[in-house]
């Protein structure tokens, strides 16, 4: 996990790519956090409009109990440990739980046409279960289906954008 606390340089955007099983947080208003190829994985953004801090998580699997050693090494790989790590990192930048706007994308039935594993559905269920346990709600979502998505969070505005496979342009999922 990396955190970006870079000072703003007027006129320059800083694009931070969030890889699979990783997360980024920032309070740099010029930062754009982006993750690609969300199939069955989930992309989760959190953003505190008052602190102007937020983060993006690209998680692969729902439950870290299948490999505790891997979860300790790469918590963002799993929803249960990754979501907690995302919130902790955002808190270090001044975000507060009761103010965050939460968006989610992905969770497709991708490369599993039979539905045998339902990884996307299981990821989303774990995500919603965790939010419910903590009294949190989703501001916007684009989950399921048979598509791949790219997700980005613009730290300066809190805007979350999506590009879905087969579409030529981005759509705005949420504005803070």
CATH architecture of 12-174: 2-Layer Sandwich (3.30)
Question: How far, in Å, CA of 85 to CA of 89, rounded?
Answer: 6
For residue 103, the cross-strand partners are: 45, 140
User: Is 70 exceeded by the pLDDT of residue 12?
Assistant: no
Question: How far, in Å, CA of 153 to CA of 165, rounded?
Answer: 18
User: Is 90 exceeded by the pLDDT of residue 168?
Assistant: no
In the chain, % of residues over pLDDT 70:
88
The mean pLDDT of 64-71, rounded to a whole number, is 93
Residues 6+ apart with CB under 8 A from 109: 40, 115, 118, 120, 121, 144, 145, 146
SS3 (DSSP) at 111: coil
Q: What are the tens digits of pLDDT across the range 135-156? A: 999 999 999 998 999 999 999 9
Strands 14-17 and 31-38: parallel
Element (H, E) at 87: helix 79-92
What is residue 2's predicted lDDT score, i.e. its pLDDT? 45
């Amino acid at each position: 996990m990396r955190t970006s606390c870079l000072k703003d340089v007027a006129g320059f955007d800083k694009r931070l790519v969030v890889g699979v099983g990783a997360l980024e947080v920032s309070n740099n208003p010029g930062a754009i956090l982006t993750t690609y190829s969300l199939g069955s994985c989930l992309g989760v953004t959190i953003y505190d409009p008052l602190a102007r801090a937020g983060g993006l998580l690209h998680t692969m699997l729902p439950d870290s109990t299948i490999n505790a050693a891997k979860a300790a090494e790469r918590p963002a790989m799993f929803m249960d440990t990754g979501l907690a790590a995302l919130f902790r990192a955002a808190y270090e930048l001044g975000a507060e739980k009761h103010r965050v706007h939460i968006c989610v994308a992905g969770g497709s039935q991708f490369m599993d046409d039979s539905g045998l594993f339902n990884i996307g559905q299981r990821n989303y269920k774990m995500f919603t279960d965790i939010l419910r346990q903590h009294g949190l709600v989703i501001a916007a979502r684009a989950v399921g289906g048979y598509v791949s998505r790219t997700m980005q969070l613009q730290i300066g505005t809190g805007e979350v954008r999506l590009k879905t496979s087969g579409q030529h342009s981005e759509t705005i999922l949420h504005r803070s």
